[in-house]
Structure 1
Amino acid sequence: MELTQPPPDSVSKISFSPTQDILAVASWDNHVRLYSVASNGQSDAKAAYNHEAPVLDLAWTKNGSHLFSSGCDNAAFMYDLTTGQKQQVAAHDAPIKCVECVETNGTTVLITAGFDKQLRYWDTRQPTPIQSLALSDRAYAMDATDKIAVVGTADRQIHIYDLNNPFQTYRNVESPLKWQTRVISCFPASVGGDGYAVGSIEGRVGIQYAHQVDEKKNFSFKCHRTEIPPGSMGAPAVNGSQNVFAINTITFHKIQGTFCTGGGDGSLTFWDGMARTKLKAFSAKELGNGDPDARPTPQWGVPIVSSSFNHSCEILAYAFSYDWSKGHQGVPPSGSNPTKIMLHSVKAEEVNRKKK
């Protein structure tokens, strides 16, 4: 089902509350919107607040009482769902690309990473950061659990922090993928919580272990690619040519430990990473995404830019939106906003791990 009253501009991030069926949506129109979602897929706009520039990322407190957002106004805000009040809790010298909220050493800590090549830890009751750490380049992607924080930067480096000792870099490694990092997602506790998946613009996902000594457990695989028939319009007259799409989102099922990927081709795929197996694939056409008048029938459509399971993992939300891969000149013409947010009822065969 389609979410009611989606943003009028591109979506950068969607995120369900960890405790209730409230979906937060960050948009390039400078707003964060919150929607209540019923078990039958019905939705209702609940609240909204604004930044001074496009919003880039979202994070919830563990109890779902507060929402954090960061963006191109170089600021991060905390929104209180009970009072409806927002307050600024972090600042950088450039846009804050990533924000995460973790519990470490018994304290709630906000982590921000920005285009100023800084990673900062914050106590939201204080106006200055607890600690600032230098990154090798601009932050492009970040995720965190209560054990680790993982940051991907513009120079394809991945910075890993052990949150038992958060102010020291635990490891710096080069991305296993050859092209620009687009998304990082940490393993949930159900699969050990000691690793992460990284996606890039080259249609490839890498599975990596943060503390792993045995490199054989790390692997990567291709996805969100389509074959080009030899000799078709605009294609080389050779076998094996492909259209390659960016991996924009990787979302783990917190109970099963499986995950889904969404790409620039507008499709969704569910995976069992531990078994290295594809569980279920939904093409753009199956998702009702794309131009129905295109000839031949389109294999891809509007990019999927973000996805999120609700707290019970019974609903998957995913957002169709322009992903800025073609820059400003690729923005859809006025009046043809392709942004939609869909709610999918999750079935067991899509997410349950394969039996050995």
Structure 2
Amino acid sequence: MIGSTPAPGAGSGRELSSPPSDGISNLRFSNHSDHLLVSSWDANVRLYDASANVLKGQYAHAGAVLDCCFHDDNSGFSVGADTIVRRHDFNTGKDDRLGSHKDPIRCVEYSHATGQVITGSWDKTLKCWDPRAASGQDSLINTCPQPERVYSMSLVGHRLVVATAGRHVNVYDLRNMSQPEQKRESSLKYQTRCVRCYPNGTGFALSSVEGRVAMEFFDMSEAGQAKKYAFKCHRRTEAGRDTVFPVNAIAFHPIYGTFATGGCDGFVNVWDGNNKKRLYQYSRYPTSIAALSFSRDGRLLAVASSYTFEEGQKPHEPDQIFIRSINEVEVKPKPKAYVNPS
């Protein structure tokens, strides 16, 4: 993609107080407020009011928490190394167990369209749960075998995209989970790190460990597939040598459909996928970018600066969460320049 110059003098944003004490696995803004849900390897899930910079509550798992998502504004689902699917209500303190997998659970999504909770595990299965089941009752609806361990998932409308080890990508319709709607292979050569659906429901972005992002489309017609492409990002050239960094995170802006990527180079870039341009690059963060999330109105961007052990055990910066106030110029696509044919 064509790149813009880095943002001059742009700071990191406002740092949230009381951050996790170990690696941040994910963070997500609520669809209803500036509440931010954060999962961590320190075995806790935390709920923040990002605007007020207040930790509103937290609860613990028996092991590292690998993912979380909101149910409503004050309750959420979480999964992790303890293999348990949990729901927690921060208002009442009520904690429910929906069920479990055989191995650690990497991903969780809640579908507002169908009322299902979907979990993806390293046991090579996808499971669908009914959170309305009576407390203590296993709420399992469906189990879908996967070709490999689940690494990342994303929802848009009734569509679920599941990315696994071995570069497999399965696309499901949540209204019929008997088999995938599409079975695909990543167009990137190396291990998938993150998949995120376009807000308009036409496709998904896929990132990998070798500093690339692929833009894919659900339309399998020749014309639809002709629109897909991949581009290099999060790499540095020094003395003629390319250093390539994994792209850990993708987050789409809810208004403009542009998207941010975060890499192990500590940078967050904002891209205009339609015009194949980089709109913005923020100043470097202290360490790897582990997760990103835009608020519901696109005014805020939550950035998890958290070492992801891509270089093994070593001294590293503490885990931090930054909240950026977004200016329109950083995320709004620029109009194409008109060229006078004369």
TM-score normalised by length of structure 2: 0.89
Partner deviation per Cα, 1:274-306 (whole Å, 9 max, x = no partner): 11111101241xx4x3xxxxxxxxxxxx10100
Number of residue-to-residue matches in the alignment: 317
Q: CA deviation at 1:337?
A: 5.0
Q: CA deviation at 1:186?
A: 0.7
Task: Give the direction of change, closer, same or farther, for the CA distance of 1:283–1:224 in structure 2 (3 Å limit).
Answer: farther
Q: Distance in 2 between matches of 1:212 and 1:267?
A: 33
Alignment partner of 1:52 is 2:62: yes
Q: Distance in 2 between matches of 1:244 and 1:152?
A: 21
Alignment partner of 1:183 is 2:190: no
Aligned ranges 1:131-150 → 2 under 5 Å:
131-150=142-161
2:116 alignment partner, SS class:
strand
Q: Which amino acid aligns with 1:174?
A: E
2:256 alignment partner, SS class:
coil
Q: Which runs of 5+ in 1 are unaligned?
A: 230-238, 290-301
2:267 touches 2:282 (CA, 8 Å); kept in 1? yes
> Match of 2:218?
210
2:292 alignment partner, SS class:
strand
1:147 touches 1:194 (CA, 8 Å); kept in 2? no
Q: CA deviation at 1:324?
A: 2.3
Q: CA deviation at 1:89?
A: 1.3
Deviates more, 1:142-151 or 1:162-171: 162-171
Q: Distance in 1 between matches of 2:279 and 2:33?
A: 27
Alignment partner of 1:304 is 2:315: no
Task: Give the direction of change, closer, same or farther, for the CA distance of 1:312–1:84 in structure 2 (3 Å limit).
Answer: farther
Partner deviation per Cα, 1:222-268 (whole Å, 9 max, x = no partner): 00001021xxxxxxxxx3x2110000100001111110000000001
Q: Distance in 2 between matches of 1:167 and 1:323?
A: 35
Q: Distance in 1 between matches of 2:74 and 2:50?
A: 17
RMSD (Å), alpha carbons = 1.4
Task: Give the direction of change, closer, same or farther, for the CA distance of 1:103–1:36 in structure 2 (3 Å limit).
Answer: closer
2:132 alignment partner, SS class:
coil
Q: Distance in 1 between matches of 2:261 and 2:91?
A: 33
2:261 touches 2:270 (CA, 8 Å); kept in 1? yes
Q: State the identity %.
A: 38
> Match of 2:254?
254
Q: Which amino acid aligns with 2:257?
A: G
Q: 1:222 aligns with which of 232, 243, 246?
A: 232
Q: Which amino acid aligns with 2:121?
A: G
Q: 2:117 aligns with which of 110, 123, 134?
A: 110
TM-score normalised by length of structure 1: 0.86
Task: Give the direction of change, closer, same or farther, for the CA distance of 1:322–1:67 in structure 2 (3 Å limit).
Answer: same
1:312 alignment partner, SS class:
coil
> Match of 2:303?
318
Aligned ranges 1:65-144 → 2 under 5 Å:
65-104=74-113, 107-126=114-133, 127-144=138-155
Q: CA deviation at 1:99?
A: 0.4
Partner deviation per Cα, 1:167-195 (whole Å, 9 max, x = no partner): 3211111101000000011111xxx3121
Q: Which amino acid aligns with 1:339?
A: D
Of structures 1 and 2, the one scoring higher in RCO (CA 8 A, sep 6+) is 2
Q: Which runs of 5+ in 2 are unaligned?
A: 1-13, 337-342
Q: Which amino acid aligns with 1:117?
A: K
